[in-house]
Structure 1
């Protein structure tokens, strides 16, 4: 009763995302409405992990902000209130560029890269803003559809539904992300770790510039695995500069990607 329900802006296997307005102050939010009664044990565990991770991430300006949650036990419903991003997502940006034949200005690409880097730095850090220890958080599904824009064109990393909080020595073994963004570790049957998120970021920035992922010509997973193992990263299209191309290729190297994204100086 504290919120005025608006349009449905997203759907999923167990519910919807709805635009809502808080009646007390008129603040617009996004509300996940999830029927946990339809979930099996694995899905419930994943949902619990997502909520815990959202609470741990705090108030980074480049991460979709979590506000609160409500449980409606009689109806087996969980409501998660989050920041509403009115500018869509990077998938929409890429699609518009394809349709119009335009290319994102390089300064915009750099701005987007910097903002996602800041978000991932907080995820991958072993301490929070107050210096207290926290688990490293792996996003595990970085892709255009999961990076949102607010009304001021600022980026917000979101959709932590597949994320994992890990202790330093415990790497997750399962692959759950986007096939074209699979890292060499996953292709080779190794655990998903921080470097895998960085690889996915490299694929994302490449797609922002080129309009397609770096290994888009692969039609099957075995073909994709061969291309990733060969490690031949196509150059960015003109007119993007050599510096940006070098940064993207640094994130897409086979074995010497920076372990921490904070160790890389972009400018």
Structure 2
């Protein structure tokens, strides 16, 4: 912590306060992201840090690797925080990009959609092969990395959830608007979750990507909440998507992900 200089606060999310930082002595002044997560007490912070350490060893083209993690004790607040440092992405995340498309009522091009699906599935497949449950997948968990300085982006997954934080009862008190919209029903209900919980979240993210030209922000997030218990609503949304993309394969993929946990596919 002593070697980190905070430049400014970027955001406040479901699990963390996010800062743009640089390391002292770094001649290149390469920007990094610091995420600071409040914990129940020091014991919980230590447990959460041990869980975050697992992500340090992940190395993959579409994975955002953690560069460091540590515990911070705030004497004024008498509060423990677990903090982690990751790469800074100047272009932001997928949520910001989708919101810009949705505001203009523009459809994501098929070619781009196909690439994004491949990036997401490959990254989650890698996590599962390493026995990692992400537990916090949503559009803002995917960071935009330009390809050869072009306007095309690869998606790198980050913003990980760990059991100690996700199961903390106070996590829901830190909610921001729409924070749990992409989570599987079992996570919302406080039930046990597993690798297939990430499958639901991928399906919900695909639903977001495929409807930027169909529904405004408020309408979409209302639908996203209600599809958990309204199969007819989900069917109607998929019918609308089919009219746009004319791909039954795409519809079948999304539908297979947004179902009961025991019926969801493996990746």
TM-score normalized by structure 1? 0.71
**Where does residue 101 of structure 1 map in the other structure?**
105
Provide, for residues 15-71 of structure 1, a one-character-per-residue CA deviation record: whole Å limited to 9, x for no partner: 5422426744516242426487x7525751563145223224x22121212223466
Counterpart-to-counterpart distance in 1, 2:209 and 2:112: 10
Q: 1:240 to 1:39 in 2, by over 3 A?
A: same
State how 1:170-181 maps to structure 2 within 5 Å.
Answer: 178-181=179-182
Q: Number of matched residues?
A: 240
Secondary structure at 2:143 match in 1? strand
Structure 1 stretches lacking a partner, 5+ long: 127-135, 166-171, 262-267
**Where does residue 168 of structure 1 map in the other structure?**
none
Cα distance, 1:88 vs structure 2: 0.9
Counterpart-to-counterpart distance in 2, 1:189 and 1:5: 35
**Where does residue 140 of structure 2 map in the other structure?**
145
> Does 2:256 align with 1:256?
no
- Contact 2:61–2:156 under 8 Å retained in 1: yes
- Contact 2:93–2:140 under 8 Å retained in 1: yes
Secondary structure at 1:86 match in 2? coil
TM-score normalized by structure 2? 0.71
Residues 112-121 or 143-152, more deviating? 143-152
Secondary structure at 1:138 match in 2? coil
**Where does residue 51 of structure 1 map in the other structure?**
52
**Where does residue 206 of structure 1 map in the other structure?**
207
**Where does residue 150 of structure 2 map in the other structure?**
none
Greater RCO (CA < 8 Å, at least 6 residues apart): 2
- Contact 1:210–1:237 under 8 Å retained in 2: no
Instruction: Tell me how large the CA RMSD over aligned residues is.
Output: 3.9
Q: 1:87 to 1:15 in 2, by over 3 A?
A: closer
Cα distance, 1:109 vs structure 2: 1.2
Q: 1:184 to 1:8 in 2, by over 3 A?
A: closer
Counterpart-to-counterpart distance in 1, 2:205 and 2:73: 39
> Does 2:34 align with 1:32?
yes
Provide, for residues 204-225 of structure 1, a one-character-per-residue CA deviation record: whole Å limited to 9, x for no partner: 0111111369974459x7x554
Cα distance, 1:188 vs structure 2: 7.6
- Contact 1:184–1:228 under 8 Å retained in 2: no
